[in-house]
């Protein structure tokens, strides 16, 4: 039986998500923005929390860990390179490691850039990727702790996943990201369709995620820094993709 997911909003614009193995009953929270919201999601689903899989150390991703661990006795898995600021860690992982949630197996991919030790959890059998604040729908995370080259490499690593991989990210930023992306590729048909879809979803009170990697590859300017039209849009035709990426990211910072 396939993994089940349950997505929920928390804090101001964060997403929490539960991943559930219906065979064993094991359930992981991907990050723990705040304990009460995770508990409400557990109540809504009837699932029992066995694991917390942490993507990175920012407070809006780890704030609920201590309370949830006290209440549920769950195992906390965190990125090896960010063990220090993350509370109550039981196990650390890095790229190439695997994590099991019941019978589900997640592969860990190193995706530094937003933070220096940021990791992504991919469940290949179910084609689910939990990318934290590395990739957003039509956007990417701010490059805070690393050089742009590092972030671009991380995005290239994610871009190698199958196109039908469902991408779960840490925030609802899609409409703002689309407004920016349209300044880079105003005539991109996938992007224009995504803009209409996101408007409809938000008006209906629905989340705009998960998205798929295939759609992101066609519409997300941060995954398209090596596409000639994107380089041309920032007047960098012929320049290395990593420089185009850095320029697009810089423009988004100022947008």
The stretch among 19-27, 128-136, 213-221, 229-237 that binds Zn ion (CB under 5 A) is 128-136
Residue closer to Zn ion by CB (options 133, 185) is 133
List the catalytic residue out of 57, 58, 72, 118.
Answer: 58
**Residue 61 annotated among the catalytic residues of the structure:** yes
**Residue 56 annotated among the catalytic residues of the structure:** yes
List the catalytic residue out of 61, 72, 81, 118.
Answer: 61
- Measured N-to-C along each axis, helices 241-254 and 148-159 cross at an angle, to the nearest 10 degrees, of 110
Point out which residues pair with 52 in neighbouring strands: 29, 76
List the catalytic residue out of 31, 51, 110, 133.
Answer: 133
Selected binder of Zn ion within 57, 58, 75, 218 (CB under 5 A): 58
**Residue 57 annotated among the catalytic residues of the structure:** no
Smallest CA-to-CA distance from 167 within 196, 207, 201 is with 207
Q: How far is the CB of 203 from Zn ion (least distance, A)?
A: 27
Residue closer to Zn ion by CB (options 58, 69) is 58
**Residue 118 annotated among the catalytic residues of the structure:** no
Per CB under 5 A, 57 contacts Zn ion: no
**Residue 114 annotated among the catalytic residues of the structure:** yes
Question: For tokens 């019978």, what's the residue?
Answer: 103
Q: Two tokens at 61?
A: 């991703």
**Residue 171 annotated among the catalytic residues of the structure:** yes
Q: Please, which residues have CB within 8 angstroms of residue 241's CB and are 6 or more apart in sequence?
A: 152, 225, 226, 231
What is d(CA 108, CA 154) in angstroms, rounded to the nearest whole number?
12
Alpha carbon separation from 148 to 137, 226, 250 (Å, rounded): 19, 14, 10
Selected binder of Zn ion within 82, 110, 133, 247 (CB under 5 A): 133
Residue closer to Zn ion by CB (options 133, 215) is 133
What is d(CA 216, CA 163) in angstroms, rounded to the nearest whole number?
9
Per CB under 5 A, 118 contacts Zn ion: no
Active centre residues (catalytic): 56, 58, 60-61, 114, 133, 171
């Amino acid at each position: 039986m396939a993994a089940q997911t349950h997505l929920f909003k928390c804090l101001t614009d964060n997403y929490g998500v539960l991943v559930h193995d219906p065979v064993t009953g094991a359930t992981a929270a991907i990050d723990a923005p705040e304990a009460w919201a995770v508990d409400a999601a557990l109540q809504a689903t009837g699932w029992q929390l066995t694991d917390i899989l942490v993507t990175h150390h920012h407070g809006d991703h780890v704030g609920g860990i201590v309370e949830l661990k006290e209440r549920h006795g769950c195992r906390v898995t965190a990125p090896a390179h960010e063990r220090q600021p993350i509370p109550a860690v039981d196990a650390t992982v890095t790229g190439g490691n695997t994590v099991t949630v019941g019978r589900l197996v997640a592969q860990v991919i190193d995706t530094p850039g937003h933070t220096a030790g940021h990791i992504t959890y991919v469940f290949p059998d179910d084609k689910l990727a939990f990318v934290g604040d590395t990739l957003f729908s039509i956007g990417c995370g701010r490059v805070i702790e690393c050089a742009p080259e590092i972030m671009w490499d991380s995005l290239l690593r994610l871009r190698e996943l199958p196109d039908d991989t469902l991408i779960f990210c840490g925030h609802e930023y899609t409409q703002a990201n689309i407004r920016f992306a349209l300044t880079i590729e105003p005539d991109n048909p996938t992007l224009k369709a995504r803009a209409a879809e996101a408007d409809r979803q938000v008006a209906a009170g629905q989340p705009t995620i998960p998205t798929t990697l295939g759609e992101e590859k066609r519409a997300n300017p941060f995954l398209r820094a090596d596409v000639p039209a994107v380089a041309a849009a920032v007047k960098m035709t012929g320049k290395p993709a990593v420089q185009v990426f850095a320029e697009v990211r810089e423009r988004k910072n100022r947008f």
